């Protein structure tokens, strides 16, 4: 079936700028050896970029058939898709952390070594913005949608929903005031968040952005009071395996970030009633034409996950990379695993 998909794609690829790469990886995951072969194909058309890829993994020398045991696993070959048509935009593959209103706060789908294909779509006009997303088409833990309507400038109404089909659903409705200046924006507002079957809370929030000398600074902050479980955070895929209950109390969150051509960094801190503190840090930097690096980590009082990578192009079309990670196997109860892998590959780009 995967071969059939590639054959159907060949006519379209004939009219695109195409690149390909292949890499082999070797290392360890926990107490097992890890080996992998990864191949990718990228194609670019005006307004569209598509990346396809497949990875074969050997654990202790045994091929991991579970990654390709079902016909629908063919979806995971979509590594990267970006497209835009006027006010419409679409992205798929491994998505950036999700921020959906005051519901999904830095949510990440990937806390293991599986390839996950998510989908994110948006339509934006001067007065209306609608977005929707799925974190993983094959194993969704976040189905989300949001709408923002600027009904009377500078005032806007917004509503959002975030749902884990097997565990929980949260709803939000609120209003915000937007102030704008040259290279600056500030939203301040309030909303009600209801976590169905768990409780509800009142939220006051602010969202600001400032551009200075080609650097974009961002800040998001909120304070919430009521009975809430603070769902869909960076470690939710782990925390949802435990009993989820609402907790009466006062919570708060703060996220600050900066991005420029030289790289980006973001730090998030949150205090959650009944669940304690949570910190997340992410960043990346090209550091030059031949060297790139990136890292992400999240820590709570009971869990910690993270990953880092250093990639070096040490000759024309040849590269190597080192990846280190602490992730979780979720087959039964969450089990943390350390991973270290060295990659060597070649690319046509």
Burial code (b: 16+ CB inside 10 Å, e: under 16) for 231-244 equals bbbbbbbbbbeeeb
> Which residue in 72, 135, 142, 137 sits closest to 103, CA to CA?
142
Q: How would DSSP label each residue in 233-298?
A: -TTHHHHTTS----EEEEEEEEEEEEEETTEEEEEEEEEETTTEEEEEEEEEE--SSSEEEEEEEE
Q: Which domain holds residue 175?
A: 2-347
- State both tokens at 134: 């799925």
Q: What domain count does the chain have?
A: 1
Determine which helix (DSSP H) or strand (DSSP E) holds 332, and give its type and residue range: none
Q: Tens of pLDDT along the chain (349 residues)?
A: 444 444 445 455 556 799 999 999 999 999 999 999 999 999 999 999 999 999 999 999 999 998 898 999 999 999 999 999 999 999 999 998 999 999 998 999 888 888 899 999 999 998 999 999 999 999 999 999 999 999 998 999 999 999 999 888 999 999 999 999 889 999 999 999 999 888 899 999 999 999 999 999 999 999 999 988 777 999 999 988 887 777 889 999 999 999 998 899 999 999 988 888 999 999 999 877 789 999 999 999 999 999 999 999 988 889 999 999 999 987 777 889 999 999 999 998 7
- Vertex 296: Cα angle to 292 and 298 (nearest 5): 170
- pTM equals 0.86
Residue pair 175/155 in contact by the 8 Å Cβ criterion: yes
């Amino acid at each position: 079936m995967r071969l059939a998909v590639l054959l159907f794609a060949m006519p379209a690829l004939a009219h695109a700028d195409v690149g390909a790469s292949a890499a082999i990886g070797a290392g360890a995951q926990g107490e097992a050896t890890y080996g992998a072969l990864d191949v990718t194909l990228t194609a670019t058309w005006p307004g569209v970029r598509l990346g396809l890829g497949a990875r074969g993994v050997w654990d202790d020398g045994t091929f991991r058939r579970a990654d390709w045991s079902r016909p629908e696993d063919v979806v995971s070959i979509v590594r990267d898709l970006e497209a835009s048509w006027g006010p419409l935009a679409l992205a798929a593959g491994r998505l950036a952390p999700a921020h959906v209103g005051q519901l999904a706060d830095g949510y990440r789908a990937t806390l293991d070594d599986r390839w996950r294909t998510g989908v994110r779509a948006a339509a934006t006009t001067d007065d209306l913005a609608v977005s929707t997303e799925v974190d993983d088409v094959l194993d969704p833990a976040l189905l989300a949608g949001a709408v923002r309507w600027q009904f009377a400038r500078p005032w806007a109404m917004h509503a959002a929903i975030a749902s884990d089909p097997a565990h929980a659903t949260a709803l939000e409705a609120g209003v915000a005031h937007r102030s704008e200046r040259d290279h600056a924006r500030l939203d301040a507002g309030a909303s009600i968040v209801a976590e169905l079957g768990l409780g509800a809370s009142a939220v006051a929030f602010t969202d600001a952005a400032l551009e200075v000398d080609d650097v974009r600074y961002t800040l998001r902050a909120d304070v919430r009071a009521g009975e809430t479980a603070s769902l869909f955070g960076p470690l939710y895929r782990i925390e949802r395996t435990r009993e989820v209950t609402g907790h009466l109390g006062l919570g708060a969150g703060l996220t600050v970030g900066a991005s420029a051509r030289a790289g980006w960094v973001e730090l998030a801190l949150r205090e959650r009633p009944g669940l304690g503190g949570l910190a997340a840090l992410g960043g990346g930097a090209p550091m030059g034409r031949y060297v790139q690096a990136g890292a992400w980590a999240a820590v709570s009082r009971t869990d910690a996950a993270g990953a880092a990578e250093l990639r070096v192009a040490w000759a024309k079309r040849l590269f190597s990379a080192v990846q280190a990670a602490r992730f979780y196997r979720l087959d039964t109860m969450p089990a943390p695993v350390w991973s270290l892998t060295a990659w060597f590959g070649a690319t046509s780009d």
